[in-house]
Each structure stands twice: as structure tokens, then as C-alpha cells.
Amino acid sequence: MSATTIRVEGPAPYDVVVGHGVADLLPELLGEDVARVAVVRPASLPEVASSVLEALGATCTALDLPVPDGESAKTATVAAGCWEALGAAGFTRSDVVVTVGGGATTDLGGFVAATWLRGVRVVHVPTTLLAMVDAAVGGKTGIDTGAGKNLVGSFHEPAGVLCDLATLATLPRAELVAGLGEVIKCGFIADPVILELVEATDPADLTADSPVLRELVERAIRVKAEVVAADLKETGGADGHPGREVLNYGHTLAHAIERAEHYGVRHGEAVAIGCVYVAELAARAGSLDPELVVRHRSAFARVGLPTTYAGAPFEELHDAMRVDKKSRGNQLRFVVLRGLADPTVLAGPDEADLRAAYAAIGGPA
């Protein structure tokens, strides 16, 4: 099957290549005059990394930069270690960082590329569904602090993204399902066909070699590509559209849950819960029909994602949500829906509605 190329427009346009067995296309995405490539990848992915290093080694010097798994990689200490390695290797502005791994690796590696010499090229090779449809596209990079997730970072668009769906064949089922959280989110905010495909397909048939999964991946990437091309740095959209903020649908509570669970919950699982929460909130604020709230619950639950949460008191999550990047001063702001694929921003919702929505998803009183 041939590769699909999705163009992300903007000040620095780039291609997202999607297909099965497309790893050999990686050198084409690097650009010209590359002497060194630093491969940032989890220490737990030696097989995938070795194939990438071997492919790159034919044309340039490849530097292997293994980092911790998951969110534990997204620290200032790990980033500083990468900077020191780049310095020791004589990394220049004509060289390229390649990330190989999931969303955390993409966030960290993109941040390292954004900050080394004030910005060098980066190419992402996501190996999880979540990274393919979310972290690898759009140019957001970041690391975590004790105060919250992704609070330190930069906008740094990649030079290219290579999504080899063959890498999903070895992905644990729970990780694949978690990635569908971001996919289904895209269905609610922009592309209802995604929801129709999910609702019409047996979840067991959503496998790495499934044509339906490939269509879902491509549709989710196109949603993100269109949004970031119109509003790269979250300055706002036209005609009342939230702009890039729309991609954070469900994320305000999701990030609070991740923090409360010490990042022991998968991001896509937290996003599913967060989307159901804001649907409940929007219904209480009078902007969303109850039928669409039910559809939120059924769509996420159909693929095996959680739609309830009772792991922390409201006050703890409320405090965490106050440091969310969408907040303005002391005012909480949520991306909500007025209807299917009709997003807006709800600023300063009533605390009674916030509490009632949390109770509706199973939260303790």
C-alpha cells in the first residue's frame, strides 16, 4: 500500500507521511547537508532505534541518545543531558534531531531541538498511536515541572513526521486503545466521520493493519494539521472558533487527573474522561444537548476507554486545573461544544456546575 502524504501548511510547511513499512523514507525528510543526526529514543526501544540508526548511518553520523521511558523523560535534568551530548558531538545548526518513540519522547526531543543553538531541525518518528495523531504534529514541545505537565516548552515545528503504522503491531493493546482517545476527540471537535467509523467498526478489528485504523489516523492528523496551520501559537481562531485551543478539548481535567495519579494513567485515558467531563459541563451550562453527552460516553466506552473517575477529590483537581495553560488569571477556561464539530470557549463557569459535572462522571462529593 502506498504512503499518504499530509501537508501541514504555515510559515514552515512540512509533510506527515503515513503508511505501512515506510521507514526507508526517513532520509528524505531530513533535508540537505546533514552531517550528524541525534536519535532521541526511550531506552526500552533498542530494536526500533537500531534500525533507524542503521538507516541513517549510511548517509551521516548517527548519535544515539537513549532517555527514560514515558513522562520521566520530560525533565530539565534529562534535557540538559541531551544538550551536553549534542555539545560533545559538535552538533551544529545544519544537523538534525530525530525522535523515535511515543508522545513523551516527541515532547522532550522536540524541546531539545527547539532550544539547542536556539533551534535545529527535528524529524519525528512516532511509534505509538497517540504520538502519531497528537504529539508529533503541530510543533508543541515541552517538559514537566512539579507544578504541572508541559508548563515549560516552545513552539518548534518539525521538518517532517514519519508515521509507520507497522510499528503499531507490537504496541500493547492498552496503548493502542489509549491513542484512540485523541482520535475520538478529533471526531467531536471537527470530523464527525471519525465517530461514524468508530461506531460502525468492531473495536477488535482496529488493529495495526486495519484499513479503518489507517483512515482514522489520517483523518485525525488532517484535523490537527488544519487547526495548527490556521493558529500555530494559540492566538485564537476566526468567527469565534477557539483556534488551536480546540485541540485541548478535554485536556484541562485530563492534565489534572494525570497529575493526581502521578502520571500513572495513560494520557488518552485521561483525555477520554476529560471529554466526557466537559460534555457534562457544557450540558449544565446550557450549550450542549444531553444526547451528545450520551454519545461522548458511548463512543469512548465502545473502544474500551474509561468515562468515569473517582480517584481524587474535586478540590485537588480544581487546584490543578487553575494552573492549566488555558486559564487566564484566576479564571478557568474550557473548550466546550455547542453541537457536534461546533466548539467554543466557556470562561469562568459556575463552581456549582463544575462540581455537578464531576459528580456526573463518578467523582466523590
> What pLDDT does residue 198 have?
98
Helices (H), the chain: 26-30, 46-57, 76-88, 103-115, 129-130, 173-189, 192-200, 211-230, 251-260, 267-284, 290-302, 314-321, 351-360
What is the SS3 string spanning 266-308? CHHHHHHHHHHHHHHHHHHCCCCCHHHHHHHHHHHHHCCCCCC
pLDDT tens digit sequence for 85-108:
999 999 999 999 999 999 999 999
pLDDT tens digit sequence for 304-325:
999 999 999 999 999 999 886 5
**What pLDDT band is residue 129 in, cutting at 50, 70 and 90?**
very high
What the chain holds in terms of domains, given with CATH numbers, is 4-170 (3.40.50.1970), 178-196+215-360 (1.20.1090.10)
β-pair type (140-145, 148-155): antiparallel
**What pLDDT band is residue 239 in, cutting at 50, 70 and 90?**
low
Nearest one of 196, 243, 250, 202 to 224, comparing CA atoms: 243
**115 annotated among ligand-binding-site residues:** no
The distance between the two most distant Cα atoms of the chain, rounded to a whole number of Å, is: 61
Which residues have a catalytic role annotated? Answer: 118, 140, 182, 224, 234, 244, 248, 251, 255, 267
Query: What's the grid cell of residue 364?
Result: 466523590
**CA angle 110–268–195, rounded 5-degree value:** 115
pTM metric for this prediction = 0.93
C-alpha span between 326 and 305 (Å, rounded): 25
**134 annotated among ligand-binding-site residues:** no
Residue 4 burial by Cβ neighbours in a 10 Å radius (0-12, 13-18, 19+): middle
Choose the weakest-confidence range: 33-37, 94-98, 338-342.
33-37
Phi, psi (rounded to 5 degrees) for 285: -80, -5
End-to-end CA distance of the chain: 52
**182 annotated among ligand-binding-site residues:** yes
Neighbours of 326 (CB within 10 A): 18
**92 annotated among ligand-binding-site residues:** no
**201 annotated among ligand-binding-site residues:** no
**74 annotated among ligand-binding-site residues:** yes
Residue found by looking up cell 471529554 in the block: 275
**What pLDDT band is residue 333 in, cutting at 50, 70 and 90?**
very high
- Residue 161, H or E segment: strand 160-164
